Amino acid sequence: MSSVCVHGLGYIGLPTAAMLANYGHTVIGYDVDEELVNDLQAGQITFDEPGLQAFVTEALESGNLEVSDEVGPAKYHIIAVPTPFDEEAKVADISYIEAAGEAITPHLRPGDSVILESTVPPGTTVNTLQPVLEESGLAAGNDFALIHCPETVLPGNIITELRENDRIIGGVNGVSTEAAVRLYESFVEGDIHTTANATTAEFVKLIQNTYRDTNIALANELAQLARDYDIDSREAIHLANQHPRVEIHQPGPGVGGHCLPIDPWFLGQNSDNLDLISTAREINDGMVDYIVDLVGSTLGTLAGKQIAILGVAYKGNVDDIRNSPGLEIARQLQSLPSDTATPISADGGQEAGIQIKLHDPHVQDQTLDLDSLADATDDADAVIIATDHEEYTEIDPPKLKSRMGSKLVVDTKAILEQSTWEDAGFTVIRI
Ligand SMILES: NC(=O)c1ccc[n+]([C@@H]2O[C@H](COP(=O)([O-])OP(=O)(O)OC[C@H]3O[C@@H](n4cnc5c(N)ncnc54)[C@H](O)[C@@H]3O)[C@@H](O)[C@H]2O)c1
Ligand SMILES: CC(=O)N[C@@H]1[C@@H](OP(=O)(O)OP(=O)(O)OC[C@H]2O[C@@H](n3ccc(=O)[nH]c3=O)[C@H](O)[C@@H]2O)O[C@H](CO)[C@@H](O)[C@@H]1O
């Protein structure tokens, strides 16, 4: 068993730290966010992930996981800090990686390993992190191991996937790769694949998410084509997928989250060869406009209408609102000409404006003005289901009908029983 310091205790770092601790390693979980550190020290996790609270409690109670606001020496340092994307410049912000490297450098000893798990543009491990760590006077590959090991867990199923997914491990040399393999094989049940260098591992991670994003763009374009031919895109995709070599994804209101809308752009950081990939991004981002237009044309006008958006998390059964399509729809409605829109958080009252109400049973974000389901849909002219939360499949159509002003439901995730809703008197538009 080893000593490990995990840098960053968010969606990735916290489950990883708890996993390592529950497999017997001695783990320091370090984060720069003092409030988060205090909450975790008190045993309280701050985001919604099935099974995670109990998993973290187990790790803390075993004494193997200590949450700290200080970096400590450790045989392995794992970096799981954010790598946000600058929308304007279309470049990754790797300053958090540099800061993590600077925090590790004073503690780095010969024989230690530094593993970068954050998703980064190809070349970041070698070109950005390595020089920072070598400020210690130690050489990567010779004195300490340096590795990229991307994380591929699916939010909503993190603990299972952390154990069961295959891992890609790419060190700056073979010794580095082997050092990381020894750590991951202590808890990973999937296969461990090694690559000749760290840059390949970075690239592999990015093309996994790019594959998914591009495939969803195809589904979104097919959904628009299907509507032009007055056919059900979901049925058509389902039937097409009966072919052994066809696996089209599902259309929706756009692609949200911290990964799929961002990672494809990382591939273009040092290359001009994004073409299909950037078009796919535009198609997925364009779904918001498409849905707003559909609502407007079905209602005749958006002026004076009250629209309820159900689901501001980026996908079903999670609380993460990063790049949320539901919020983007709200922003889009808000940015319509000023005589037809009111701010997202407005509680109504402008006669000519669009009134936007938001509801989400999973999201606690205090900066959003969220309503109960009843308040959000009371007198609504249209309901847009923007997230496939389980709770929305349980909405009772007659009860909703009695509350709403008119009867339009846009089901962007195709989670409602269309015939039941139509029988209840609703106009249902499925994407
Ligand atoms: N969330 C996912 O589903 C997912 C999946 C695979 C990969 N990733 C990648 O993993 C990385 C982390 O993502 P996340 O979703 O866990 O982010 P997050 O924002 O949930 O957590 C990151 C944490 O790092 C902390 N932090 C910031 N700077 C720090 C520093 N210098 N030292 C220590 N802690 C610091 C923040 O306070 C925060 O708590 C990103 O690169 C992301 O792209 C995320
Ligand atoms: C390759 C892959 O699987 N990567 C996963 C992904 O995790 P994620 O939670 O971001 O991924 P999704 O569940 O795909 O959701 C993203 C958005 O796409 C919408 N969507 C989805 C499927 C579909 O057919 N049609 C859609 O419209 C959905 O509603 C949501 O808005 O990135 C993580 C970080 O790198 C990975 O770790 C994780 O493995």
How far apart are the CA of 69 and the centre of ligand 1, in A?
16
Q: What value does the mean pLDDT take over residues 309-322?
A: 96
Separation of alpha carbons 296 and 247, rounded Å:
32
pLDDT for res 3: 98
Q: Is the pLDDT of residue 190 over 50?
A: yes
> Under 8 Å CB-to-CB from 206, ≥6 apart: which residues?
119, 121, 122, 263, 264, 266, 267
Nearest CA to ligand 1 atom 25: 8
DSSP string, 244-272: TT-------S---SSSTTTHHHHTTTT-S
pLDDT for res 337: 62
* 3 pocket-lining for ligand 2 (C-beta < 6 Å): no
pTM: 0.94
pLDDT for res 352: 44
Ligand found nearest the CA of 415: 2
Whether residues 171 and 286 fall in one domain: no
| Ligand 2 closest atom vs CA 165 | 39
In a domain, 258, yes or no: no
How far apart are the CA of 212 and the centre of ligand 2, in A?
7
In a domain, 341, yes or no: yes
Best of 5, 28, 31 to mutate for ligand 1, by most ligand atoms within 8 A of CB?
A: 31
Q: Of 310, 320, 335, which Cα lies nearest the Cα of 253? A: 310
Mean per-residue pLDDT over the chain, rounded:
94
- Which of 197, 232, 264 finishes a domain? 197
Query: Torsion angle of alpha carbons 243, 249, 252, 253, nearest 10°?
Result: -150
Task: Give the range among 229-238, 295-304, 327-336, 337-346 with minimum mean pLDDT.
Answer: 337-346
- Which of 169, 197, 225 finishes a domain? 197
Nearest CA to ligand 1 atom 15: 11
Separation of alpha carbons 348 and 384, rounded Å:
18
| Ligand 2 closest atom vs CA 256 | 31
Question: How many domains in the chain?
Answer: 2
The H or E element containing residue 292 is helix 276-299
Of 78 and 351, the structure prediction assigns the larger pLDDT to: 78
* 100 pocket-lining for ligand 1 (C-beta < 6 Å): yes
DSSP string, 97-142: HHHHHHHHGGG--TT-EEEE-S---TTHIIIIIHHHHHTTS--BTT
- pLDDT tens, position by position, 8-59: 999 999 999 999 999 999 999 999 999 999 999 999 999 889 999 999 999 9
Residue-range definition of the domain harbouring residue 374: 279-430
Whether residues 22 and 131 fall in one domain: yes
Nearest CA to ligand 1 atom 27: 81
- pLDDT tens, position by position, 329-378: 999 998 876 555 544 444 443 434 899 999 999 999 889 999 999 999 99
> Under 8 Å CB-to-CB from 9, ≥6 apart: which residues?
17, 29, 30, 31, 33, 36, 37, 40, 67, 80
Whether residues 174 and 310 fall in one domain: no
pLDDT for res 138: 98
In a domain, 262, yes or no: no
Q: What value does the mean pLDDT take over residues 209-217?
A: 98
* 7 pocket-lining for ligand 1 (C-beta < 6 Å): yes
pLDDT for res 348: 42
User: ipTM of this model?
Assistant: 0.98
Whether residues 187 and 306 fall in one domain: no
